[in-house]
Structure 1
Amino acid sequence: MYLIAKQPYVKVERIVRSIEQINIEHERTMYLYNEKIVTEHREFHIKDVMDMSYRIVGGKGGLLYLHTSNGVYSYTVKSSPNRFIEEFKNHIKA
């Protein structure tokens, strides 16, 4: 197994208290290997990932979607994941 690409993403934790809401951002990384895609808490076998897409949200960053055989998973990104998506598509073509 070898690393092909990696993509930073953010997990936002919202804490609601009686008079305030606090957002805590956890910086994480998604890894594309030749056999699987790995996030902080999930692993997707490469054959189970059918596609990836990206939607810009608010002009700064957006959502990276993994379309899998078990559903669609979204990840918040602060930078464009276009290179990561391109590497994935090139890998599954090969």
Structure 2
Amino acid sequence: MDLLATQQCIKISQEIGWTEKRTIETTYEMKLFNDYLLVKKEKFPVTSIFDISFRKKSQTNDIGFLYLHTNSGVRTYFIKEEPFSLIEAYEKLKLERPELR
């Protein structure tokens, strides 16, 4: 399997201590291969993906949203970097494989 593109995503959680509340950001990668998209340990076959879109303000530090539209619903992921390379690789894959259209 060839790795076509990666996208860094963020998991945001909060911890409450005795005197403070902390926000913790953990990063992980979304990886697009020829036949599937891997997010943590979850695999999405490319045949089950309808579209990948995102919404993010232009400020670099703002957190945006990446939307993965699948046949089992829409999944939302937090991102800091715009996912142009992931979306471009997915669109190219759709053009190369007619069954994905």
- Shared topology, TM-score over 0.5? yes
Shift of 1:41: 3.3
Count matched residues: 94
Aligned to 2:30: 30
The answer for unaligned runs of 5 or more in structure 1 is: none
Inter-partner Cα distance in structure 2 for 1:80 and 1:18: 37
AA in 2 matched with 1:46:
V
Shift of 1:83: 1.6
Structure number with bigger Rg: 2
* Aligned-pair identity (%): 30
Shift of 1:57: 4.5
Inter-partner Cα distance in structure 2 for 1:5 and 1:75: 16
Inter-partner Cα distance in structure 1 for 2:58 and 2:19: 26
AA in 2 matched with 1:72:
V
AA in 1 matched with 2:54:
Y
Deviations 1:60-94 (A, max 9, x none): 24111000000101111111101211111111111
AA in 2 matched with 1:27:
T
The answer for unaligned runs of 5 or more in structure 2 is: 97-101
> Scaled by the length of structure 1, what TM-score is found?
0.88
> Scaled by the length of structure 2, what TM-score is found?
0.83
AA in 2 matched with 1:70:
S
Aligned to 2:43: 43
AA in 2 matched with 1:15:
E
Distance 1:75 1:84, change over 3 A: same
Q: How does 1:1-94 map to 2 (within 5 A)?
A: 1-16=1-16, 20-57=20-57, 59=59, 60-94=62-96
Inter-partner Cα distance in structure 2 for 1:21 and 1:93: 47
